[in-house]
Structure 1
Amino acid sequence: MVLSHQGKLIADQKGEVQVKDRVQRWTKPPPGWTKLNNDGAFAEGNKTGGAGMILRDEEGQVIFSSCRYLRTCSSALEAELAACLEGLSIARAWSVLPMIVELDCSCAVQMIVEEGIDRSPRAILVMQLKHALGEIGEHVISHVVRSRNAVADALARLGRINQRTAVWLRGIPVEVDTLCKEDSVG
C-alpha cells in the first residue's frame, strides 16, 4: 500500500514504513570542474525531437543553457545522443575546465563509454561524440537519475514543443528559470 511517493513514506509488503524513491537534485561539480547536463525529448507521432543542454560551474552558476529543435528524429536514443553532441560542441567554446557529462539515458552512456566498434544505427553519432570528448580533455561520463537532470529535460521539451533553437550565455530561458533555481538549492 503506497501512502505517498517521491521521497515520502511507504509501507512495504510486511506493513513496515520506509523512505523510498527520494527525489534527488542536481549536485555541484567538484572545485575546478564544470558539469554538463544533457537530455533529449522525442515525439513518436511526428518523429521530431528536442535537445536540452546546460553547463554549470562549481558554484552552480550557469555558463550556458541551450535548447534545440530536432526537425527529424528517429528515436528517443537519437535525441539523447544528439543533445550530448550539441552540448559538448557548445561547452568546448565556453570552458576549458575538466567536465562531468551527465545523461539520464543509461543506454546512451553505455554506447559512449564502450570500447570497440559500434555497429548500431547510431554509430555515426557515437563516433562523433567520442571525437568531441577527446577534444574537451579531462572528462567523466555519468548516468544520473532523471530528477538530477530536470533542467536539461525541461530545455529539451522546450526545444521540441516550441520548435525552438537557442543558446543563453550565463543565463536560462524564463520558462525554466524557477526550476533551475530550485535545482541549485542545497
Structure 2
Amino acid sequence: MKLSYFQDPPKEFIDIMWEIKDRSTVLIGSCLPLRYGAQVIPSAPDTAKWWPPKPGWYKVNTDGAIFEDLRGCGVGVVIRNDRGEIMGAMSKKLDLPLRVLEVETKAVEEGLWFAANFGLKDIIIECDAQQVVKCLGRQIVPPSSICLIMDGIWGGLKSFNDWEIIHTQRNGNQAAHILARQAKFLDDCNIWVEDTPPSIVDQI
C-alpha cells in the first residue's frame, strides 16, 4: 500500500509524528540496555538433566505456571551451589492474569530478587523459556508486553558481579517447574533456606 504524500503538513501532524518517534525510541531503548560482561549460552550441555554450575558459582533455575481458573499464575525458583546443594527455594503465587511469556519473564525477575537476598555474586540463570533467554541475550527485541519486567531484570542484574543465562529443556528444569505448579495451592509464598522442599526431593 502506497502511503499518502503530504506537502507542507500542518504543525500538529509533525508534532504527533515526533511524539510517536520519541516514545518508540524510549521503549526500544529500555528493552535493550547495556549488558554487564555476561555470557549467554543458548542451551545447556545436556538439556535432559540438571548440571551443576562452575566452582564458586550458583545456579538459579526458574519457571512459571498459569492458573487460568484462578486468573493467576505461579513462579518456582531453585538455587543450588556447585555441589548441587540447595541454597534456597521458592514457590510463589501471583494474583496476576499473565500470559506464558510474561510469567516466564516474571519468574526470572523473582529468581534474581531471591538470589540477591542471599548475597550471591556470580550466578547462572537457567530456564526453559527460549524467548526469554534470547531477549536477555539481545538476540531479539523483547515484546512490549514484557518490557517493564525486563527493566526490573536489568536492574536486578546490577546486584551481581557476573552472570550467565542458559536455556534448558523441561527435564533439566523439573524442580522449578514443580514449585511453580505447586504455587496454585498457596495464599502467597513458601520459602525454603538450605532445605529441600518435600515435593522436589526426587529431583535433587
1:96 matched residue in structure 2:
120
Match for residue 104 of structure 2 among 77, 80, 91: 80
Find the counterpart in structure 2 of residue 160 from structure 1: 184
Q: Structure 1 CA distance, aligned partners of 2:96 and 2:143?
A: 21
Corresponding residue SS for 1:88: helix
Cα pair 1:32 1:97 within 8 Å, conserved: no
Counterpart in the other structure of 2:175: 151
Which sits farther off after the overlay, 141-150 or 108-117?
Answer: 108-117
Q: Distance in 1 between matches of 2:109 and 2:93?
A: 14
State which drifts further: 41-50 or 83-92. Answer: 41-50
Give the residue type in structure 2 aligned to 1:80. E
Mapped to 2, the partners of 1:53 and 1:38 lie a distance apart of: 5
Unmatched tracts of structure 1, length 5 or more: 1-21, 181-186
* TM-score scaled by length of structure 2: 0.71
- TM-score by structure 1 length? 0.78
Partners of 1:96 and 1:136 within 8 A in 2:
yes
How does 1:20-39 map onto structure 2 within 5 Å? 24-39=48-63
Partner residue in 2 for 1:176: 200
Amino acid at match of 1:153: H
Larger deviation: 58-67 or 69-78? Answer: 69-78
Q: Distance in 1 between matches of 2:123 and 2:158?
A: 12
User: How many residue pairs get matched?
Assistant: 159
Are residues 1:56 and 2:80 paired?
yes
Structure 2: stretches of 5+ with no match in the other structure = 1-45
Greater share of helix:
2
Identify if the C-alpha distance between structure 1 residues 116 and 146 changes in structure 2 by more than 3 Å, giving closer, same or farther.
closer
Q: Is the contact made by 1:47 and 1:75 (CA closer than 8 Å) also made in structure 2?
A: no
RMSD between superposed Cα atoms in Å: 2.1
Larger radius of gyration: 2
Query: 2:157 aligned with 1:133, yes or no?
Result: yes
